Amino acid sequence: MIEILTPAELVRAGRTGALVADILQALKARSTVGTNLLDIDRWAQAMIVSAGAQSCYVDYSPSFGSGPFGHYICTAVNDAVLHGLPHDYALADGDLLTLDLAVILDGVAADSAISFLVGEARPPESVALIDATERALHAGIAAAGPGARIGDISAAIGAVLTAAGYPINTEFGGHGIGSTMHQDPHVSNTGRPGRGYKLRPGLLLALEPWAMVDTAELITDADGWTLRSATACRTAHSEHTIAITGDGAQILTLPSQPHS
C-alpha cells in the first residue's frame, strides 16, 4: 500500500525526521576508538525512550532476518553494510561505521543512515565510497521533482554509483514510509527514467543508496541479520527520509541544529 500523508501528518513527519537525525549525530559524536557497538545500541535506546518515540527495529521480524531484531539501531562495520546487528565489538581507528536508525513518533516513522570513519585514519578507498553513496543520495533527492517517477530517482542514484565504479545490488533499496517503516513503493538503486509510480505530494520515501567496493554480492552473517560484502570489501550506506512536495522534495531527516 502507498500512503499519502495529510499536511498535519507531514508536520509530525518533520519532527520524527529531526529526532532520527539528532540521535544519529549524537551517536556519531560519541563513536570513537574503543566505543563498543553495544554501547551505541544502549545510547540509541535511551534517546528513543526519552523522546517518547518507539523503535521500528526492536520487535521487527521481516522475512529477511531471523526473529525479532532485538536492538534499537543497525551498526555495520567495514564489510558489514545492511541490518548490522549490534554485537560486542570495540571500534578501531579507521573503521567505517554505518548507523541506520528508524523510529516512530506520534504515529509517523522516519528512517536514516550515515556512514563515517572512526578515529583519525582516512583510508582513501573508504572516503571515496562514503562520498559516492552521499552523492548518489543527493542525486536521488534532486531527481524527485514535480512530475518525476520512481524510475527517475532510481536512475539518478544508479548513475552516480556506476560512474564511481561500484557494482549495484538490487536486492535491497529504498522504500515508501509513513505510519510504518517499510511500505510501497520500492525504490531500486538503479533503474530507468520515466518508469514506475508517479510521485505525489504527501508521499514519504526513504532513499538509501549503498555500495560495496568490488562486488554486488551479499552474504548473511552467522547472526542471521548482518549482511556483508561477499568479498569482505568495505561498504557504505547513506539514507534520508524525504517528503514529496508540490515543487520538489524536502529532506526530513536533517538535524535540528548544525553538527560538524
Instruction: Write down the H helix ranges in the chain.
Output: 7-30, 37-50, 124-142, 150-163
Bond preceding residue 185 cis, omega within 30 of 0: yes
Residues 190-219 that bind Co ion (CB under 5 A): 206, 208
Indicate whether 20 belongs to the interface with Co ion (CB under 5 A).
no
Grid coordinates in use for 123?
583510508
Grid coordinates in use for 4?
499519502
Q: For residues 33 and 58, which CB has a smaller minimum distance to ligand MF3 in the complex?
A: 58
Q: Are 77 and 97 in contact (CB under 8 A)?
A: yes
Task: Identify the residue whose cell numbers are 554501547.
Answer: 39
Give the binding-site size for ligand MF3 (rule: CB under 6 A): 13
Rounded to the nearest 10 degrees, the angle between the axes of helix 150-163 and helix 124-142 is: 160
Q: Are 149 and 198 in contact (CB under 8 A)?
A: yes
What is the pattern of x (binds ligand MF3, CB under 6 A) and - over residues 125-164?
----------------------------------------
Cα-based distances in Å from 71 to 42, 128, 145, 177, 219: 9, 30, 35, 20, 21
> In angstroms, what is the minimal distance from the CB of 185 to Co ion?
13
CB hemisphere CA count around 146 (13 angstroms)? 2
> In angstroms, what is the minimal distance from the CB of 166 to ligand MF3?
18
Task: Using the Cα atoms of residue 248, residue 254, residue 259 and residue 260 in order, give the sign of their dihedral.
Answer: negative
Q: For residues 43 and 225, which CB has a smaller minimum distance to ligand MF3 in the complex?
A: 225
Q: For residues 124 and 157, which CB has a smaller minimum distance to ligand MF3 in the complex?
A: 157
Which helix (H) or strand (E) element contains residue 251? Answer: strand 248-251
CA pair distance 201, 6, nearest whole angstrom: 9
Selection from Co ion, ligand MF3, none that 100 binds (CB < 5 to 8 A by kind) is: ligand MF3
Residues 50-109 that bind ligand MF3 (CB under 6 A): 57, 60, 65, 69, 74, 83, 100, 102
21: helix, strand or coil: helix
Q: For residues 74 and 122, which CB has a smaller minimum distance to ligand MF3 in the complex?
A: 74
Q: Is 182 annotated as a binding residue?
A: yes
Selection from Co ion, ligand MF3, none that 252 binds (CB < 5 to 8 A by kind) is: none
Indicate whether 199 belongs to the interface with ligand MF3 (CB under 6 A).
no
> In angstroms, what is the minimal distance from the CB of 42 to ligand MF3?
16
CA pair distance 55, 57, nearest whole angstrom: 5
Indicate whether 22 belongs to the interface with Co ion (CB under 5 A).
no
Q: For residues 22 and 111, which CB has a smaller minimum distance to Co ion in the complex?
A: 111
**Binding region for a divalent metal cation:** 100, 111, 175, 208, 239
**Binding region:** 83, 100, 111, 175, 182, 208, 239
Residues within the interface to ligand MF3 (CB under 6 A)? 57, 60, 65, 69, 74, 83, 100, 102, 111, 113, 208, 225, 239
Residues within the interface to Co ion (CB under 5 A)? 111, 206, 208
